Amino acid sequence: MPLSNRNFALPATTFEPFTTPVTPLPRGESKSNADKLEADARGRAQSLDAETAERRTQLFGDLERERDALSHEVDNLRAFEREYRSRLKTYFSQQLEALETSGSADPTTHEAGLTQPKRLRSVLGDDEG
């Protein structure tokens, strides 16, 4: 069957215009609806702004507390390091003195230069050259 002989018309039931009439609202009523929607939107925006500000304040407070705790921990670690270094230096000094006093009785160790370990002196900051 040739194309020109076919019926391409749509049945009346498949395409119908809107059956319910749209009645326009009176001008005053649509204006009040628009004002109400705008007021609701502004209220939600202010609420979101308030929530955001509160959350930001809370987060910054948490971060400041964490920073203070970490700063305190760093201070404690620095104090520990100072004390540890001081004790270590005292220990090395005592060991060096013990080596020097025990080595002075034996002239062979003094002549060999074993009474003044350079590495220990450099660690203590007493390196003479």
d(CA 51, CA 45): 10
Q: Where are the domains of the chain?
A: 29-124
pLDDT of residue 31: 87
pLDDT of residue 30: 86
Least reliable range by pLDDT among 2-11, 91-100, 114-123: 2-11
Q: What is the mean pLDDT of residues 71-88?
A: 97
Q: List the Cα angle 110/115/121 in 5-degree steps.
A: 145
In this structure, the number of other CB atoms found within 10 A of the CB of residue 92 comes to: 16
Could you tell me the pTM of the whole model?
0.46
Assess whether pLDDT exceeds 60 at residue 114.
no
Phi-psi region of 127 (alpha: psi -120 to 50; beta: other; left: phi over 0): beta
Assess whether pLDDT exceeds 80 at residue 6.
no
* pLDDT tens-digit series, residues 32-56: 899 999 999 999 999 999 999 999 9
The helix, strand and coil proportions of the chain, stated in percent and rounded to the nearest 5, come to: 75, 0, 25
